[in-house]
Each structure stands twice: as structure tokens, then as C-alpha cells.
Amino acid sequence: MVQTRGAARRSSTVATAGIQQHEPAAAALEFDGIKNLRDLADAYSEMKSGCVFRTAAPIHASELDTKKLYNDLGIKDLIDLRSSEEMMLEGMGSPAFQGLSFCKYKRDPAVNRVVPDATSYVHGGSHSDVMRVQIPVMEKHRYYWSIVSRMKKRHALQLVATALVDKPASRRIAIEQVNEGGLEGLYRVLLSDSAEWFVAALRHIKTSAASGRPVLFFCKAGKDRTGLLAALLLSLLGASEEAILQDYVISDQFHMVALAGLEENPKVTGLDREKFERAPREAMHAALQFIQETSGSIPQYLAAAGFGKAEQEELRQLLLRDGGSSSSVAAG
């Protein structure tokens, strides 16, 4: 059973500054089939509660869980950060995914950003007012080539050459690189190569907030991609590094590995699962330090990826209790 830390202090529905806040009773935030769910405002008291939630993929949600998500919490937008392969492997039979409208994001070179793909839109059924959007932060092929691009030239050439004659051997070489990098390496890859996908998720959260639509975002474990998106959002709103780390380490108790479906491939052997199933504060601390070293700050990192000062301030206005004062937010 899962219950968010802030559930006990919420008991009604409150409307504030253009967004409808759903503040259910404690029982509404208790789930038997959904793991790692919490209100992001639990991590930062200046954030409006009932607006943005994080979780692991609700693939084992019960019918009762589903009613709590959509009727009690009032979730209207699900941001699915999983890869297409993960969704295929895990299936979409959960009641939480039934009857929803759907749209997948894609990178549009014409506008140089990640945007909704109108051709992917599907109108839902029983919960058609709820939208699931897929923003695949880490597709397997992108992750694979990110690993190759970071290898020493001779190692990369060896891997490519080996792949032509011995694919199992080439996979072993790639997995050695994955293991060597561990979680810190994974987070550097995600932050370096998926910035525009994180921006697309933040932009969707902003649009949802402006429309009064509570958001739930998730990946497979609700730990890595979800953890990085949560860290970016919390930092942008003014949360301290310690608050971000405390939110992140909550996921340590669930011990799940999620590498865009790579970890479920029976052809992939040698993966050091123990390196990827935990959520140690050192891993998130290293990710935040990486952003600081490469971009200067999270606002600067996001601005370079297309989410500029105006959009950042708009997001603060929508999600901060004080109406969006950015005096406590690091200058970008």
C-alpha cells in the first residue's frame, strides 16, 4: 500500500490562481497496485499541492486504483516517459490505461523541438477526458548510440566492427560500458542527449497547469527518468538540492531496473542489475553537479534546450503557492 507523505493534511478541492487543485482525503492516495506514487509538492512546501504527481508506471493498477487516480486525485494528463519497447514488453492492459485519449511526441526538425505528433492522436472512450502523452525520454536505439558516441574511438570502432560478425559479442562490449558508467553515467547520458525531451515534458506540465489539469508523470520504475524530471521541475521552482535529494531517495525502497527495455532483453547478458536498481543520493547529487559544471545552472540548462526564461517564469506562476515569485530561484 502506498500513501504520499502529504496526504494526511489534504481534505478538499481548492481553486487558486487559474489552476484547480484537487486535495483529496488521505484514503484517496492509498494504492495497492501502484508503486512509488507521491505528490511532488510533498518535496517542496512552496509548490501547490494536487497539481503534479510522480509514480512508477501504473501497469498493475486495480479498478479501485484507477478510480482513485481519475475520480479522487482528478488526474487529467499522464506523461509517459517510457520507451516504445517498454510499453510493448509491459503491455497496456492495465485498467489505468483503458479508455484514455493518446498522443505521442516526436522531434520535428522543422521547428527544432519535440512536439505532439498530430497523426498519433487517438480519441479515448470511458476516460476520453484524460490524455496519456508518450514522451519517450530514452528509446533503446538512442541510448545505444549515446553509449557508442562516448566510447573511446578505438573501442567504438571495435564495437561496430564486431557487430557485423558477432552481435552477442558486440552487445557484451556495450553492456560493459553501461556497467562501467552505472547510474551516474546513465544520468549524464539522459541529461546530455534528452534535454529537449525533458523540456517537452515540462512544457506539457505548464500547458496542463494553465488548463487546470492535474498531471501524473512516470517511467517504468518512477526513479531515473522520472527522478530527473522531478529534479528539474523542483529546482526550477526554487527547491533546495537537499529537498530534491530527499524526494529522490524515496525511490530506493522499490529496487527496480529500467533501461528503456534493454534490461528485459533475453539476448542481453552481463548487466550488473545491482548498479541500476537503487536510488542513492550520490547518483542524483552527481547529476545536479553535472548540470552545474556543463551549463552553470538548471535554468540555463533548460534555456539552452529551448525552455527559456519566459516559459520558466510562467511555470513558476502556475505552480508556486505565492504566485510565482522567483526571488529564491537561481538566476539563469
Percent of the chain with pLDDT over 70: 79
Q: What is the CATH number of the domain that holds 111?
A: 3.90.190.10
Query: How many whole angstroms from its chain centre is CA 59?
Result: 16
3-state secondary structure at position 309: helix
pLDDT value, residue 27:
40
- pLDDT over 50 at 327, yes or no: no
Q: Is the pLDDT of residue 247 over 50?
A: yes
Highest mean pLDDT among 87-91, 141-145, 214-218: 214-218
Cα Rg, the chain, nearest whole Å: 19
Residue 253 vs residue 120, higher pLDDT: 120
Instruction: Provide the residue range defining the domain that includes 256.
Output: 38-317
pLDDT surpassing 80 at residue 106: yes
Q: What is the DSSP string of 166-195?
A: -HHHHHHHHHHHHHHHHHHHHHHHHHHH-H
C-alpha distances (whole Å) from 170 to each of 180, 187, 259 are 16, 23, 18
Q: What is the mean pLDDT of residues 85-93?
A: 82
pLDDT at 272: 76
Q: Residue 323: inside a domain, yes or no?
A: no
Q: How many residues appear in the chain?
A: 332
| pTM of the predicted protein model | 0.85
**295 has pLDDT over 80:** yes
Angstrom distance (rounded) from CA 44 to CA 238: 8
> β-strands 100-108, 215-219: how paired?
unpaired
Residue 217 has pLDDT above 90, yes or no: yes
- Cα separation, 231 vs 68, in Å, equals 26
Q: How far is CA 329 from CA 10, 198, 232, 316, 318, in A?
A: 27, 19, 12, 10, 15
Q: Could you tell me the pLDDT band of residue 313, with boundaries at 50, 70 and 90? A: very high
User: Cβ(310)–Cβ(4) under 8 Å?
Assistant: no
In this predicted structure, the answer to whether residue 224 has a pLDDT above a threshold of 50 is yes
12 occurs within a structural domain: no
| 34-48, 134-148, 220-234, 240-254: the lowest-pLDDT one | 134-148
**Which of 1-10, 66-75, 160-169, 311-320 is predicted with the least confidence, judged by mean pLDDT?**
1-10
User: Mean pLDDT across the stretch 247-276?
Assistant: 76
Q: Do the Cβ atoms of 258 and 139 come closer than 8 Å? A: no
Percentage of the chain exceeding pLDDT 90: 59
Inter-axis angle of helices 153-165 and 140-150, to 10 degrees?
130
Mean pLDDT, residues 189-208: 96
CA dihedral 312, 260, 60, 52 (to 10 degrees): 0
**pLDDT confidence tier of residue 218, bands split at 50, 70 and 90:** very high
Q: Which tens digits make up the pLDDT trace of 142-161?
A: 776 677 666 677 766 776 77
Specify if 190 maps to a domain.
yes
Adjacent-strand bridge partners of 132: 78, 102
Within-domain flag for 117: yes
Residue 47 lies in a domain: yes
C-alpha cell at 320: 508556486
| Total domains, the chain | 1
Nearest to 116 by CA among 100, 102, 98, 127: 102
Residue 105 domain flag: yes
- Assigned domain for 7 exists: no
162-174: per-residue pLDDT in tens?
A: 776 777 776 777 7
Q: Is residue 299 part of a domain?
A: yes
